[in-house]
Structure 1
Amino acid sequence: MAAETDTAALQARIAALEAENDALRTETPRRRRVRGRSILAGVLLVVAILLAPIAVLGTWARVQLVDTDRFVATFAPLAEDPQVQSYIADQAMTAIDENLDIQGIVDDLADGLTQLDLPPRAENAIQLLTVPAAQGIRTLVGNAVDRVVASDAFAGIWQTTLRETHSRAVAIIQGQEGTAITLGGDGTLSIDLGVVIGNVKDHLVDSGFGFAEAIPEIQRTIPLATADSFVLIRTLYQVATAAGYWLPWVVLGLLVVGVALAVKRSRAVVAAGAGLTIAFLALLAGFGIGRQFFIGAVSPSVMPAGTAAVVFDQVTELMNATLVALTVLALLIALGAWLSGPWRPARRIRRIGQDAENTLRRTAERYGLSTGSFGAFLDRAAPALRVIVVLGAVAILFLSRPITIGGVLWTLVGVIVLLLLIEVLRRPADEPETATDAAPDAEAAATVSRPPA
């Protein structure tokens, strides 16, 4: 009898082991598929994070150089900066000195006066006045240059010139000849001084200084900046014309597909947000280092350090603002994914929020305010509505180029308001019936049970 019992137990054990073995055989392919999906999702997310800074640079180059208004808005303020004005005025005066011999003109005038048989004392006085007269004329011309460069008229000329020559912006980046602003093959960005000097000449002639007619037409350019970074900008522009518009969409697509393939999506979104934050911060740090390198490369041989800093900051202002906004956006996405994830602190925070929502909902219904069937519909559609709100916010930010911190924060406020409305207005199916809803049923029951008169 005992032998039969042992045999039955052994057979049962064997059957259990065979069933467990069959289950393991079935489970192994599924685990391999899950592992393959996770690896593919990780690769897509890593590629998206690596391409994100390139996409930002390409979009920046495209917007700065293709959009006329943005191009003018970037470079026009340089004409009103005191350091840039001082640099242009100094260079214009140097060009005038090299092409107009003021001392020679005064000496010729003095020689002509001495030939008029003037008294010796008058001749001596004329000779003594030649140097102060030349210095006075030069000071007069210098003051006129300063007034012209600092005037609103010059700022208008600067802006008009930028707008009129923007059609040749591609030629500027490609280093072609014949443009008011040129980019040389060695990375030198230059501006033609002919316009500045021509306006100084007209101003002097209109003021009654006829000698200004002797100022010749000068064909000369002065370098605004020289740096290898401008050669890099040229390369980036060539890339931007081909992929500057589409590459951000490619990055967004890789992120969406990578998160969709991930087994643990909340963890994937947190990792993607953290990776993008690091990538954008690294690019910001690179621009900070590039600024110091740029100033050191062009100063003082090309221009003063203050002027170089102003030029660099003005050109990269939009890029820095966009990177800060994208960093904030990536952090917010990572934080939102963490709050919706399986981590214990996140679950506690969600539980606190749910308790507050339930309390608010019950209080409202206690006073007769209930969303009824509409709330039940919102409860059923809540997951889809949350996804639609988030994806809509991402689409709005993506289409609003350039991305700004204000745009990110206002979009975040809109998302929070919409999500709160969904949570407050929805009516969970398992919510206990409130006194307001139960009163009609209780009254009906009492009517049925009341004995007839």
Structure 2
Amino acid sequence: MARLTNQQLEAELARAQAEKDALEAEKRALAARLDEERSRADAAEAARASAAARAEKDAAGAKGEASTAKKKRGWGWTLLATVLIVIASILAPVAVVSTWAQRELTDTNYFVDTFAPLSTKPAVQDLVVTQTVTAIESNVDIEGITSDVFTGLENLGLGPKASTALNTLQAPLVAGIKSLITQTVTKFVHSEAFSDIWKQTLTITHKQLLATLNGDKNAAISVGPNGQIGVQLGPIIKAVKTQLVDQGFAFAKNIPAIDKTIVIAKTSSVTLYIGLYNLVVAVGIWLPWVVLVLLAAGVLVARRRGIALIWASVALALSMILVSVGISVGKTVFVLEVSSAIPADAAGTLYAGILGFVQSIVVVVAVLAITVFVIAMIGGPFRWARALRGYAGSGFAAVRRGAERHGITTGRVGEWMYAQRILLRVIVGLAAAAVVVFLRPLTPPVIIWTAVIAVLVIAVLELVSRPPAVDASTQEPAPAAAN
């Protein structure tokens, strides 16, 4: 093997050293490029943070200016906002009654849908059977009729034993006739014919209940001028009479036309409700809108609108809760008041049938107020609310950055959506409000799902919106790149 001379060895060492130096230089250059990229990324991030801080500062400044302007308006505006919200909250229960009157009572279909199901309630059916049988027995002398029949038979010249035997049959015959009447009335009241008569009469005379009553004695439901609400038995007794005659019981022809009413309420509050209804008819469907305008005006004139919206929703929810409690207490009072004439179960069924729709409106408005309260709290000026919104914004930004690293971006459309984000949010809010205002029937699930869907839509809009890029050198939004 040839040996390397000193010069050759030194040359090899020099060459190896040169290669090592070149590798070191390349390594340093690569590290420098990495450091430069990190620096650029840090600078861009710092620029974004600086721009966000500046925007926050500008917003705070604008808020401060607005707050100053609000303070210059004086506390008179706060007082006016409070008065408007209080008046609206006081009128809200009346508005609920007006909604009930306009959409339920002044419309035949709504009225029939409310009262027609009462004819199928066992408690109401039992009450009608009892009162109808009592009315027939009170107006038909069954004992006298049977006595006349037996007297006529005795005059035929029957023997003593036959007469005695005949007399012993008189009491069972009277009891049998009464039992037959009860069975016939019960069978009729539990039949579809009774429900049909009930519904037809309601359809014809429903306005009598609401307007106070034009005195139609054939109405199945009537209101007397003394504040009595009752179920009239005349049409029912007439139908039972026809059935008995058709079955061959001639004595039924003696049943006269009976004008009897089952009084289901006799109280000054009924007269008050009727007077209130007359007022509602005068103001029409506008009262709910007046309440809505008063609430909106109270929020708009307030010095701190977010706080005013919270208090307005709380006041409205409390007024609905008080109305609901009042309806529940009223049921107990109603049952006790008519207990001498109507069994408790029947009275409770009648009360629920009459005010059930009002109760449902109260629940709907209360749920709507609570929903607005939750949204207003999250969007309010509180520190925890701002922090929550900040976390949500940071999460959306992180998702957008992750998508852009994978080449997924909304481009110019996203930039336009970001520029028009306030308009888009207003459109979503108006759409949700339109659902609440115009959709019928409005139920608590509809309100909750409307709010949830609106929030989800706003979240999606926030996610697909694309804030403009920030130039690290100027810390200003850079021109949008062509996509």
- State the TM-score bracket (shorter-chain normalisation): 0.7 to 0.9
| Alpha-carbon offset, residue 60 of structure 1 | 1.7
| Alpha-carbon offset, residue 159 of structure 1 | 0.6
Q: Confirm or deny: 8 A CA contact 1:188 1:224 kept in the other structure.
A: yes
- Gap change, CA 1:353 and 1:308, over 3 Å in 2: same
- Please tell me the residue identity of whatever aligns with 1:174: T
What does 1:150-165 correspond to in 2, within 5 Å? 150-165=190-205
1:72 is the counterpart of 2:108: no
| Alpha-carbon offset, residue 431 of structure 1 | 7.4
- Please tell me the residue identity of whatever aligns with 1:206: D
Distance 1:303 1:351 in 2: 62
| Alpha-carbon offset, residue 49 of structure 1 | 2.0
What does 1:165-314 correspond to in 2, within 5 Å? 165-170=205-210, 173-179=211-217, 180=219, 181-300=221-340, 302-314=341-353
- Gap change, CA 1:385 and 1:346, over 3 Å in 2: same
Gaps of 5+ in 2: 1-66, 473-480
Moved runs in structure 1, 4+ residues, more than 6 A? 27-30
Query: How does the TM-score come out when normalised to structure 2?
Result: 0.79
Distance 2:298 2:92 in 1: 14
Distance 2:110 2:69 in 1: 55
| Alpha-carbon offset, residue 111 of structure 1 | 1.5
1:102 is the counterpart of 2:138: no
- Please tell me the residue identity of whatever aligns with 1:177: G
Q: Confirm or deny: 8 A CA contact 2:213 2:223 kept in the other structure.
A: yes
1:364 is the counterpart of 2:403: yes
Pairwise CA RMSD of aligned residues?
2.3
Distance 1:29 1:394 in 2: 30
Identity of aligned residues (%): 38
Q: Secondary structure at the match of 2:167?
A: helix
Q: Secondary structure at the match of 1:116?
A: coil
What does 1:303-452 correspond to in 2, within 5 Å? 303-401=342-440, 403-430=442-469
1:123 is the counterpart of 2:163: yes
Q: Give the stretch that moved more between structures: 364-373 or 155-164.
A: 364-373
Distance 1:230 1:158 in 2: 22
When the two structures are aligned, how many residues end up with a matched partner? 405
| Alpha-carbon offset, residue 166 of structure 1 | 2.6
| Alpha-carbon offset, residue 429 of structure 1 | 2.3
Q: Confirm or deny: 8 A CA contact 1:176 1:182 kept in the other structure.
A: no
Query: How does the TM-score come out when normalised to structure 1?
Result: 0.83
Q: Secondary structure at the match of 1:197?
A: helix
- Please tell me the residue identity of whatever aligns with 2:449: W
Q: Secondary structure at the match of 1:317?
A: helix
Corresponding residue to 2:187 among 132, 143, 147: 147
Distance 2:207 2:329 in 1: 32
Q: Secondary structure at the match of 2:264?
A: strand
Cα deviation code 1:202-238 (max 9, x no counterpart): 1112223232222222233332322223212211111
Q: Confirm or deny: 8 A CA contact 2:209 2:223 kept in the other structure.
A: no
Q: Confirm or deny: 8 A CA contact 2:241 2:253 kept in the other structure.
A: yes
| Alpha-carbon offset, residue 32 of structure 1 | 4.0
- Please tell me the residue identity of whatever aligns with 2:323: L
Q: Confirm or deny: 8 A CA contact 1:55 1:244 kept in the other structure.
A: no
Distance 2:207 2:214 in 1: 13
Q: Which residue of 2 aligns with 1:18?
A: none
Q: Confirm or deny: 8 A CA contact 1:225 1:303 kept in the other structure.
A: no
Distance 1:333 1:210 in 2: 68
Q: Which residue of 1 aligns with 2:35?
A: none
- Gap change, CA 1:57 and 1:432, over 3 Å in 2: farther
Cα deviation code 1:108-150 (max 9, x no counterpart): 2212222233343222111101001110111011110011111
Q: Confirm or deny: 8 A CA contact 2:80 2:301 kept in the other structure.
A: yes
Distance 1:206 1:361 in 2: 83
Distance 1:73 1:229 in 2: 24
Q: Secondary structure at the match of 2:331?
A: helix
